[in-house]
Amino acid sequence: MAFRKVIRKEFLEISPYRLDDDFPTDNLTNLVRMSLNENPLVEKVELTKILEAALRKIDPREYPRPHGGPAVQAIARFHDMEPSRLFLGNGIDDVLDRLVRVLVDKGSKVVVAEPTFFMYTYYTQLCQGQKVEVMLKPDFSLDTDSLIDASRDSQLVFICSPNNPTGNQFEKSDLEDLLDRCHSVVAIDETYVEFGKYSILEWTSKYRNLVVLRSFSKAFGLAGIRTGYLIADQELVEAMKKTVHPFNVSSLAQQAVVEVLQRYDYFKKIFEDVKKEREWLLSQLRQIRGVTPYPSDANFILFKVDHEKSSSRIQSELRGKGILIKDRGKVPLLQNCLRVTVGTRPSNKRFLEELGRILD
């Protein structure tokens, strides 16, 4: 059977989001992955205790509670808001998928502040929506006037703050200005907010068109457990629930969220440790000739390299040494830029040493 004749056209045209460079199949000595913004500063032994506690409280023979039951209740208590305004998904990607499905159909316009996380574009394409790109200013700040102009006949606006891959958290006044003047649904992705300066979560009770996305994958070190959530108007949340089966989040993931929030003081200290390590790594990168790192409010650093070697070549040479980072050099505004995750001090030192050798 010639499946090209029966597969929907948009699936044939969309390029998959490939992670081959992040999960190499060849044998690399002492591999250190600093490309996916995971949080190695969260101790594995602590997460093991959390998962063991979660396992003791669930029965894997039974179906999970519908729509994230215990986790949704715990998150709602933690943020002091109604559970009806929460949607829990199997990672932030799942949440994004559901959000776009209920708002976007063929020809719908989706405004994206670029450069940013590719998956906003990906899910828009899956729903046959039309992406409208609004570039950040050269200093990576929001062009609010252009965003508002572009959003006049759009369904949805995506903004990541702190932004991936630039690392900066946008000015609070710019986000407020956008929400005051924009009539589309505005989705603010706060995946990295624990490393930033502020959150606008409380604004969801003021702006009915505001959607805030959060994740347990980055700051809390639960990337492998896959849990993310959205806070929005109850009417939108109810519509999103119609796009999933009731058992969309596993019992283990749900209970892990409960256990994590009960140990929030531990994680809060880890957030501060990451920030300190980030500032140290920034200071060290500034000392390498030809390297210009950008200030960051996330757990990663974007840096530009002024060298005869391209960013892709530098990424490749680091990979040969067992260090994986992201090449962003082909992205508009980010010529010859790379992105590195803040790791442990030994990992960061090893990265700096190898980068220095490559540039020398």
User: pLDDT tens for residues 236-290?
Assistant: 999 999 999 989 999 999 999 999 999 999 999 999 999 999 999 999 999 999 9
Neighbours of 263 (CB within 10 A): 14
| CATH class held by domain 20-37+265-359 | alpha beta
For residue 15, give the DSSP letter: P
Number of H helices, E strands in the chain: 12, 13
Q: Please compute the mean of the pLDDT values over residues 121-127 and round it to a whole number.
A: 94
Alpha carbon of 95 to those of 52, 62, 184, 212, 353: distances in Å?
Answer: 26, 24, 19, 11, 39
| H or E segment and range at residue 251 | helix 251-262
Note the pTM of the prediction, 2 decimals: 0.95
**Which residue type, as a one-letter code, is found at position 224?**
G
Average pLDDT, the chain: 95
Q: What are phi and psi of 74, to 5 degrees?
A: -65, -45
Write the pLDDT tens digit of every residue in 132-191: 999 999 999 999 999 999 999 999 999 999 999 999 999 999 999 999 999 999 999 999
Q: CA angle 342-39-273, nearest 5°? A: 65
Cβ atoms < 10 Å from Cβ of 202: 12
CB 37 within 8 A of CB 298: yes
Domain 45-262: which CATH class? alpha beta
Residue 360 clears pLDDT 90, i.e. is over it: no
Span 64-90, average pLDDT: 96
pLDDT for 1 beyond 70: no
User: Considering the chain, what percentage of its residues have pLDDT values greater than 90?
Assistant: 90
pLDDT at 208 over 70: yes
Whole-angstrom distance, CA of residue 8 vs CA of residue 3: 10
Confidence category of residue 90, pLDDT binned at 50, 70, 90:
very high
Residues in the chain: 360
Boundaries of every domain in the chain: 20-37+265-359, 45-262
Question: For residues 63 and 250, is the Cβ–Cβ distance under 8 A?
Answer: no
Q: Which residues contact 259 (CB under 8 A, 6 or more apart)?
A: 50, 51, 53, 54
User: Given this chain, do its domains 20-37+265-359 and 45-262 carry the same CATH topology?
Assistant: no
